[in-house]
Amino acid sequence: MKGLHLRVCLLAMLLSFGPGPVILAGQSSGQGNPVDVVVVEFSETYYALPDSTLTDVIARLNRTRLAGAGGQMSQGLTEYHIQPSWQPAGAGGRCRVARLRLEVQVRITLPSWPAERFRPEAERTSWETIEVAIRSHEYRHRDLTVEAAKTLAHELEALETRGCRALEQVFAGAVALADARLEEAHEQLDRDTPARLTVGRKEGDRR
C-alpha cells in the first residue's frame, strides 16, 4: 500500500499508511462518537520561480519535476498520508471495530513567482490565472483524499465478523480496497487535466 505515484499533469502524490501525523483538526464520522474519527492536518509550502518573464515561467513549469530527476512533470505537488488506528471489541463470539481513528495529513506544494509584481498588468493577470488553476487542481486532490477517508471510516465502523482474527483480515482488505479506489480517483482527475501550460494572445495564460 506504500508507493510514490507521479501524476503527469500537475500532481505528484505520496500515498502511505504508516506513522501518524500531527493532529490539527477533526471531522466526526457522524455516528455520535465524542472522539473525532477522521482527523485532518493540511499545510501548504511554496517553491520560488526565479524567472523574470511569464514566458520563461511557463517554460520552466512545463519541465518542472517536483518529485526529482526522472520523475514526470509536476507543477504542483500533493502529498497525503492516511493512518488508521483501532481496537477490536469482541462479545458473544462476534468482533467489531472500536476506537477507530483515521489521521489524514495533506501537504501541498505550489509555485510562487516573486518577479510578478514587477511585470506588466497583462502578465500579472495571466500568472494569477495559472496559479489559481494549479492551486485548484491540487485542492481537488486534497478533497478527494479527505472524502475517501470519511467514506472509509464509515465502512470500517460497520465491520463485524465472527472472531477478531477474521476482523483483522477484513479490516486490512477494506483499507486496501479504499486505497485502490482513491488512486483511481486521483488518476481520473489527472486524465481530465491538460498536460501543459500555454500562452494565449487574447485570453491570457492558461493551463
pLDDT in tens, 146-180: 999 999 999 999 999 999 999 999 999 999 999 99
Taking the C-alpha atoms of residue 78 and residue 168, their distance in angstroms, rounded to an integer, is 30
pTM for the structure as a whole: 0.77
Three cell numbers, residue 181:
479506489
Name the percent of the chain lying above pLDDT 70: 74
Residue type, 157: E
Report pLDDT for 11.
30
Three cell numbers, residue 69:
530527476
**Average pLDDT value for residue range 48-68:** 91
How many C-beta atoms surround the C-beta of residue 125 within 10 A? Answer: 13
Q: Is the alpha carbon torsion for 29, 30, 34, 40 positive or negative?
A: positive
In the chain, what are the domain boundaries? Answer: 3-206
Greatest Cα-to-Cα distance within the chain, rounded to the nearest angstrom: 73
Exposure b/e, 87-117, CB count within 10 A at least 16 = b: ebeeeeeebbbeebbbbbbbbbbbbebebbe
Mean pLDDT (the chain) is 80
Element (H, E) at 194: none
Taking the C-alpha atoms of residue 126 and residue 43, their distance in angstroms, rounded to an integer, is 26
196 burial (CB, 10 Å; 0-12 / 13-18 / 19+) is: exposed
Taking the C-alpha atoms of residue 183 and residue 13, their distance in angstroms, rounded to an integer, is 10
Three cell numbers, residue 112:
510562487
Write down the residue that cell numbers 465502512 correspond to.
155
**Average pLDDT value for residue range 183-197:** 82
Taking the C-alpha atoms of residue 87 and residue 73, their distance in angstroms, rounded to an integer, is 41
Using one digit for the tens of pLDDT, what is the confidence trace for 103-150? 999 999 999 999 999 999 999 999 999 999 999 999 999 999 999 999
Name the percent of the chain lying above pLDDT 90: 63
